[in-house]
């Protein structure tokens, strides 16, 4: 919304209304006076600003007033880099809601900086942000309200010393797609004074989805698994509805709060759909092989439907517990098999409604895969059926019950103690790579779906062995 402003005449007529409790006459007048849908939506949600008497754009947040506050504060800070300063200033002036505000944060505002992990494109640390992020406006003291001493993630891109355009693109992508709260929020930018590398300050989650599955899979029920899938589709839908493609959609870029909620992160390769593949990387393909769609492996343009393929592999992983192709090399031979129709296999029983959705997602023909909205609706309907006690006789409940009975007999014949935790124990092949890297395969076959006559068995170990469980008591594991 470029201009959020009511005329003086309209303001005078509605200034004394309680927007959350309008009479029928007041509602009728609002319909006549505010004909613009977006303006009306802002009024109905947030009412009028107490300071400038214009429309709020968020709870306790008026863009008209706060943009002036930001302008006045520009002189009080600098990153030392003109491009970064200009980027942050423009982002602050565009921010219509608190969750889309980013800041320049001095590095001395962070305590207890600790290394977390290294990925294909950057290194992540965790730290305590002394001030904490903005969450509202204090009208009495005329200043931002903040959370004190918030834990955050510090993401430093490799070779960010010269603040490459890719760094700022990733920050911008995080701001643009942060809508439903299931992508990871970016709070701002800082700089390491020792290396002069610029760093993204991100919301810290408890861990990665893979870590969550390793330690909790045995205790997860189908409702919890579907809830995780539903959150991921929320995030993917936010990205696609903003006209973006994630480009690197794999389990390593999904975080977890270890409470059945998953979050999409790492938008470093995220690009608008109107940017052709040939314009971006000279047709170089980066990714994690098991999650990359077969058409992309063959050098075709990456599309939103390629993200959907990645979701299908992630869904398989959440449902069965194991990483795809964890015990075989991620090499050109596997890429060839994937193009010929090979998909991850498991002897762990999954409800057919979920299997059907996964099969749609990893169809060899991108046009037969659902879009993000359709996919979210499919998964969301399953989740609603699980949380609605009135639907205990629904198909998904019956299929989940059947799957649990089969899995219990096959994999868990011995009842585990109530005080125990079980971690998945598996050996990852030394050539199974789960970080993004350059994938340069030549002369791959045309993608197709496998049929019954295709011999696609890579190895017997594709069938997961759930007998290899590492079972520890809670006291011992802690």
pLDDT of residue 318: 96
Whether 185 contacts 174, CB under 8 Å: yes
Please give the structure tokens belonging to residue 148. 């004190």
Q: Which residues pair with 244 in a beta bridge?
A: 272
How many angstroms separate the CA atoms of 344 and 312, rounded?
10
pLDDT of residue 412: 67
Residue with tokens 């439903």: 180
Beta strand residue intervals within 57-197, DSSP E: 103-104, 110-118, 122-129, 134-138, 143-146, 150-157, 186-191
How many angstroms separate the CA atoms of 277 and 272, rounded?
10
Q: Beta strand 262-264 with 254-256: parallel, antiparallel or unpaired?
A: antiparallel
pLDDT of residue 135: 86
Which letter does DSSP use for residue 446 in this model?
A: P
Whether 127 contacts 152, CB under 8 Å: yes
pLDDT of residue 283: 67
How many angstroms separate the CA atoms of 57 and 66, rounded?
11
Pick from 318, 204, 198, 300: nearest CA to 250: 318
- H or E element, residue 92: helix 82-94
pLDDT of residue 420: 47
pLDDT of residue 455: 59
| Exposure letters 46-84 (e unless 16+ CB within 10 A, then b) | bbbbebeebbbbbeebbbbebeeebeeeeeeeebebeeb
Residues 90, 91, 92, CA angle at the centre, nearest 5°? 90
pLDDT of residue 418: 42
Task: Estimate to the nearest angstrom the gap between the alpha carbon of 257 and the chain centroid.
Answer: 12
Q: Which domains does the chain have, with CATH numbers?
A: 78-203 (3.30.200.20), 207-477 (1.10.510.10)
pLDDT of residue 9: 87
How many angstroms separate the CA atoms of 234 and 250, rounded?
15
Task: Estimate to the nearest angstrom the gap between the alpha carbon of 3 and the chain centroid.
Answer: 30
For residue 236, give Cα distances in angstroms to 108, 138, 178, 248, 260: 35, 34, 11, 12, 17
Which residues in the chain show pLDDT less than 50? 1-2, 277-281, 417-420, 459-464, 466-468, 471-478
pLDDT tens profile 214-273 = 999 988 999 999 999 999 999 999 999 999 999 999 999 999 998 889 999 988 765 655
Ramachandran quadrant class, 299 (left: phi over 0; alpha: psi -120 to 50; beta: rest): left
pLDDT of residue 7: 82
How many angstroms separate the CA atoms of 341 and 312, rounded?
14
């Amino acid at each position: 919304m470029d201009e959020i402003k009511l005329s003086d005449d309209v303001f005078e007529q509605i200034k004394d209304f309680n927007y959350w409790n309008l009479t029928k006459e007041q509602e009728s007048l609002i319909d006549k006076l505010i004909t613009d849908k977006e303006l009306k939506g802002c009024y109905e949600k947030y009412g009028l600003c107490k300071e400038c008497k214009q429309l709020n754009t968020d709870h306790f947040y008026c863009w008209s007033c706060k943009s002036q506050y930001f302008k006045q504060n520009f002189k009080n800070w600098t990153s030392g880099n003109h491009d970064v300063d200009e980027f942050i200033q423009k982002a602050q002036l565009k921010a219509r809601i608190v969750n889309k505000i980013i800041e320049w944060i001095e590095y001395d505002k962070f305590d207890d900086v600790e290394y977390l992990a290294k990925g294909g494109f950057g290194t992540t640390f965790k730290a305590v942000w002394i001030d904490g992020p903005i969450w509202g406006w204090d009208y009495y003291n005329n200043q931002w309200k903040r959370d004190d001493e918030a834990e955050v993630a510090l993401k430093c891109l490799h070779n960010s010393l010269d603040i490459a355009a890719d760094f700022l693109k990733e920050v911008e992508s995080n701001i643009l797609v942060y809508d439903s709260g299931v992508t990871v929020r970016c709070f701002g930018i800082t700089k390491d004074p020792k290396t002069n590398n610029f760093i993204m300050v991100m919301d810290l989650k408890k861990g990665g989805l893979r870590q969550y599955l390793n330690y909790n899979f045995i205790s997860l029920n189908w409702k919890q698994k579907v809830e995780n899938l539903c959150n991921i589709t929320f995030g993917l839908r936010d990205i696609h509805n903003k006209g973006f493609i994630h480009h690197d959609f794999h389990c390593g870029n999904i975080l977890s709060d270890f409470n059945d909620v998953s979050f999409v992160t790492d938008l470093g390769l995220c690009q608008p759909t109107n940017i052709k593949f040939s314009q971006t990387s000279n047709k170089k393909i980066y990714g994690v092989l098991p999650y990359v769609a077969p058409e992309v492996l063959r050098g075709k343009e990456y599309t939103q439907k390629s993200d959907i393929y990645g979701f299908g592999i992630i869904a398989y992983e959440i449902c069965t517990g194991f990483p795809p192709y964890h015990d075989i090399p991620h090499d050109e031979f596997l890429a060839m098999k994937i193009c010929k129709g090979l998909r991850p296999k498991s002897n762990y029983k999954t409800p057919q409604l979920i299997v059907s959705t996964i099969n749609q997602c990893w169809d060899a023909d991108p046009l037969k895969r659902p879009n993000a909205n359709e996919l979210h609706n499919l998964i969301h309907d399953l989740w609603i059926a699980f949380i609605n006690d009135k639907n205990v006789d629904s198909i998904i409940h019956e299929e989940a019950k059947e799957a649990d009975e089969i899995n219990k007999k096959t994999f868990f014949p011995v009842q585990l103690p109530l005080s125990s935790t079980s971690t998945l124990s598996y050996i990852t092949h030394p050539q199974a790579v789960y970080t993004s890297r350059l994938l340069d395969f030549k002369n791959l076959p045309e993608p197709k779906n496998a049929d019954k006559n295709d011999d696609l068995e890579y190895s017997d170990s594709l069938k997961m062995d759930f007998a290899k469980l590492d079972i520890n008591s809670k006291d011992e594991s802690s």
